[in-house]
Amino acid sequence: MTRREELFRRFSVDPDVCFGRPCIRGTRIWVSLIVDNLAEGVTQEELLKSYPQLKAEDIRAALAYAAPQEQGR
């Protein structure tokens, strides 16, 4: 399993949870919420403090997920 595949296992997509948006597995924290906060200048440490159920690896996974989305623009 590649590192990217390992990171992506941290997500879940369920049409009955958060409108089917990708979330960190076991939470209702949208991947896009993490990426948007980082883009606005919120630090990883601030995110981890605001969302105690998050792990640093979840944030890395969210960035890995978002990166290919932006490359197609």
Of residues 28 and 67, more confidence is placed in 28
The model's pTM? 0.78
Task: Kindly report the average pLDDT of the chain as a whole number.
Answer: 85
Of residues 41 and 21, more confidence is placed in 41
CA distances 2 to 6, 8, 9, 20, 32, Å, are 6, 10, 11, 25, 23
Copy the structure tokens of residue 32: 């896009």
Of residues 1 and 62, more confidence is placed in 62
Reference 4, options 70, 69, 63, 50; nearest CA is: 63
**Domains of the chain, each with CATH number or no CATH:** 3-67 (1.10.10.10)
Element (H, E) at 60: helix 56-71
Copy the structure tokens of residue 48: 């981890």
